[in-house]
Amino acid sequence: MAANYWASTQQNHWIQDRWALATSREEDLKYLSEADYVKLRIWFLIQKLAKRLQLRQQVIATANVYFKRFYINNSLRSTDPLLVLVTCVYLATKIEECPVHIKMVTQEARHAFQAEFNGFPYDSSKVAEFEFYLLEELEFYLIVWHPYRSLTQICHELGMKESGIQYAWFIVNDSYKTDVCLLYPPHLIALSAIYITVVLNQHHHTDMTERDMKQWFADLNVDINAIIEITQEIFSVYDIWSDWKEDKALLLYKEFRNKPSITG
């Protein structure tokens, strides 16, 4: 494991550009609008399975990153996202040293997805088999750096109240519904979460004045444009999320999967 983020495989191998992400989605966008594609990515049920397994947030975040990395080189149409996400969760529990037996994972998946898919249609051997394929797709680069450590450190340096830290933490959680974990270093995502927290709830979460906060951000030796881009991406997902309904997302997914393939 690299001693710091800048020497990590995440920085040197897995940070993408927007062109690469757009290219990776060309096949699926033949069958979906971009807004509907985002809705499906919001809906995928990692959180639902993780809740049944009582996993901590770091494990959930790592599973989300694995899922997103897998779909840089694969399409939703040509794979079963349900098998992918269950395997991502299983692998994340091992890498984050929170191991859960594979039989427990598949058993809880059957319960978690009963309402949507009449259960989980694979057994433990299929998840174990797919794990090898997932590892190859991830090129065995499995250590993920998340914004949470930077978030906590910066919030304490700013003297933010516990309510502010919690609010910013929830924004980081929500950021995994976007692509920012594939595009930006984790400390910039943390700073963006703090920025959103301060802008929306400054008087509740910090004793710093708005002017002090603006000066603090101005003095940072970071890419302010990147922070603005991350903030805009998080807000754009919130806009789409506001019209999100689980039953509609399920119908959208089934229609997407059942559309006749476009040839040529």
pLDDT tens digits along 4-55: 888 888 888 899 989 988 998 999 999 988 888 888 877 777 888 999 999 9
Indicate the pLDDT class of residue 112, thresholds 50, 70 and 90. confident
Report the pLDDT value the prediction gives residue 109, as an integer from 0 to 100.
93
Instruction: State the pLDDT confidence band at 199, using cuts at 50, 70 and 90.
Output: confident
DSSP per position, the chain: --SSGGGSHIIIII---HHHHHHHTTTGGGTS-HHHHHHHHHH-THHHHHHHHT--HHHHHHHHHHHHHHTTSS-STTS-HHHHHHHHHHHHHHHTT----HHHHHHHHHHHTHHHHSS----HHHHHHHHHHHHHHTTT------SHHHHHHHHHHHT--HHHHHHHHHHHHHHTTSSHHHHS-HHHHHHHHHHHHHHHHHHHH-SS-HHHHHHHHHHSSS-HHHHHHHHHHHHHHHHHHTT--HHHHHHHHHHHHHSPPP--
Q: 17-138 and 147-243: same fold? A: yes
Which sequence spans correspond to the domains of the chain?
17-138, 147-243
- Confidence tier at 200 by pLDDT (50, 70, 90): confident
What does the pLDDT read at residue 161? 83
For the domain made up of 17-138, give the CATH fold.
Answer: Cyclin A; domain 1 (1.10.472)
pTM value is 0.91
Domain 147-243 has CATH 1.10.472.10: yes
Amino acid 183: pLDDT: 95
What was the pLDDT predicted at 37? 86
What local confidence, expressed as pLDDT, does residue 263 receive?
A: 66
| Mean pLDDT to the nearest integer, 214-234 | 84
